[in-house]
Amino acid sequence: MKDKKIIKIFKKNQWFRAGAGAVILNDQGEVLAFERRDTPGSWQFPQGGLDPNEEPLDAVFREVEEETGIKKKHLQLITTKSKLLAYELPLDFRSGKLGRGQIQYWFLLRLIGPESVIGLGDHEEFHDWKWTKMEDLVKEVVGFRREVYQDLARFVEAHVN
């Protein structure tokens, strides 16, 4: 019976959700990482889906504010990743909202406000935050996102040094 349910979910969710994500830097070249509320010990960047007719840059600023409380006025756009990055969710995580995974636009931003503007936004997604080295974050991200974060590490390195 469980196999039939899994097959039904699999067939319904054969699409990738369009999204946007933000890598936020400080002046020391560290990245701002957030610990997932639903998966303690799993750290990631703010990210989320695009609303209908929403441009990716608008989406990333909206997602950052919703998830971290950081307003657009406290962020400076450094650059945009030229290629979209995708990850595939494990079968048990697929849903009508998330589909098979996400394909994302990524933006490199710099925090230009004080650290006091960093929070946990709506508190729905994240439990904690920290500044960390990109290579350390790659080790702490959930496995199905690791390849995307490895690509992001090369992206950050190319623009920080």
Q: pLDDT tens digit string along 62-109?
A: 999 999 999 999 999 999 999 999 999 988 888 877 788 999 999 999
Beta partners for residue 23, in sequence order: 108
For residue range 32-70, list pLDDT tens digits in order. 999 999 888 999 999 999 999 999 999 999 999 999 999
CB-based contacts of 77: which residues, under 8 Å, 6+ apart?
A: 57, 107, 108, 109
Give the structural domain span for 106: 2-160
CATH number of the domain residue 54 falls in = 3.90.79.10
Which ranges constitute the DSSP H helices of the chain?
Answer: 2-12, 56-68, 134-140, 146-160
pLDDT of residue 9: 54
Residues 21 and 106: their CA atoms lie apart, in Å, by 5
pLDDT at 26: 96
- 8 Å CB contact between 13 and 96: yes
The sign of the CA dihedral 95, 100, 104, 110 is positive
Instruction: For strands 101-111 and 75-80, give the pairing.
Output: antiparallel
Q: What is the CA radius of gyration of the chain?
A: 16
Q: State the total domains in the chain.
A: 1
Residue 6 CA to residue 71 CA, distance in Å, equals: 40
